[in-house]
Amino acid sequence: MFLLLVAAAGVAILHSILPDHWVPLAVVARTNRWSMTRVARVTFLASIGHIVASIVLAGIIAAIGLRFRQVIENQQGHIVGILLILTGVVFLVLRLMGKGGHSHEDGHGHSHGHGHGHSHHHHHGHGHSHTHDDGHGHAHDHGHSHEHDHAYPFEWGGIYQLSAGEYHFVLNKGPDPEMKIALFRVGDHSSESLAHACSHGVEVFKGSSKRVLKGEFIEPIQSRYDLVLSGPDNFTFQVTESGYYVLFTEHHPEEFSAKVIHEGTNMEPLIHEEYPSAHDHQHLGKSEDEPKTLLKRIAAIAIPFGVAASPDLTILPVALAASAVSVALVVGTLIVFAIFTIATFMILTLIATKLGYQIKGEWLEKNAIAINAVMLMGIGVVAYVGF
């Protein structure tokens, strides 16, 4: 009896450590910047699907005869493999049709009346105040002013001093359903550093972007993020190296009561500035980014489905042997099989995802759908060949 339970655990572990089960989940999680909580949840559901598929198929085989086992296993691999390959090809073709970074004209439901007469402010902890000809005053601690004579793609920028750890960008419900931001490291918190970062931030805002949903990660790299807001929202980012980081936001943080929170403490910028922006937001229809977002959601669902669609029939001999003893032992072996399968799935996927977050680069952000497509095709080939 005990040996059969050990055998069930061994079968679960040996089958679950095969990379075609957990590697795709880790890749999807990394390329889409899922939180570890979401990774655990999706992996748990995928492992449940794997267990159910295994038990159902094993029951069918036991009912119609073991002689059909090999035939079913072979055809199952071919069918699943072809479906996954075709799905990957579709994703890849659609990605190539809309290749490259995208920057879209957005229109939200409110209008900003920013013009060339708009004042901007450097805010420091100390300094002197003076008034410009347009009647707007602002303070500097460096003795000179910057005049912006053109519109910017963001309304606000600030430099924070952040130590290594986990941070949350928290926003309440605001006037817009989206907010573009950029977050990256700078050398110090001087006004010159902010001015240099501003020039670079303009280029970042013009470049490729990543649409981020609630619960997904933001990375402090030189890439634009389009936050999808429903209010209140909480986006997480991990700082691996202590230093100074600049945050640029499409809209003024006050419009959303936006804050950077670390361990329950509201982080204040050491220096921040407001920028003139001439955009009028009128989100009258769907953003052109929505098809790509839908593709990513489908890809994120398709790969866990692909993992669950490859059941394990090695539990069948163990279950049949247990059935010769008692029904209780059959139930026991299936429970042990389920527990060890779920545990192995989750441990390997979480570890791989955690390691994957050490790999940083804009290529991941630009090619997430393509990577998902290649992974689907790779899994499909493995399933078809039958390794």
Higher pLDDT among residues 290 and 343, named by residue: 343
Mean pLDDT of all residues in 150-174: 90
- Given a cut of 50, whether residue 265 has pLDDT beyond it is yes
Give the number of other Cβ atoms within 10 Å of residue 203's Cβ.
Answer: 12
Higher pLDDT among residues 297 and 216, named by residue: 216
| 63-96: pLDDT as tens digits | 665 555 555 555 656 766 676 677 778 767 766 7
Cα dihedral sign for 172, 176, 178, 181? Answer: negative
- Given a cut of 50, whether residue 101 has pLDDT beyond it is no
Alpha carbon distances (Å) from 121 to 156, 210, 256: 10, 29, 19
| 333-382: pLDDT as tens digits | 999 999 999 999 899 989 988 887 666 555 655 666 677 677 767 777 87
Distance of CA 332 to the CA centre of its chain: 38
**For residue 45, what pLDDT band results from cuts at 50, 70 and 90?**
confident
**pLDDT, position 201:** 92
How many distinct helices (H) and strands (E) make up the chain? 10, 14
- Given a cut of 80, whether residue 332 has pLDDT beyond it is yes
Q: Which helix (H) or strand (E) holds 10?
A: helix 2-16
Higher pLDDT among residues 113 and 76, named by residue: 76
By CB atoms closer than 10 A (0-12, 13-18, 19+), residue 302 is buried
Question: Beta strand pairing status for 209-212 and 224-228?
Answer: parallel
Average the pLDDT over each of 166-170, 218-222, 261-265 and give the range with the smallest value: 218-222
In the block, residue with structure tokens 């490259």: 100
Kindly report the CA angle at 378 between 375 and 382, in degrees rounded to 5?
140
By CB atoms closer than 10 A (0-12, 13-18, 19+), residue 89 is middle
Alpha carbon distances (Å) from 38 to 84, 302, 349: 23, 16, 11
CB-CB contact of 104 with 208 (8 Å): no
**For residue 249, what pLDDT band results from cuts at 50, 70 and 90?**
very high
Average the pLDDT over each of 24-38, 155-169, 172-186 and give the range with the smallest value: 24-38
Angle between helices 327-356 and 2-16 (to 10 degrees): 30
- Given a cut of 80, whether residue 7 has pLDDT beyond it is yes
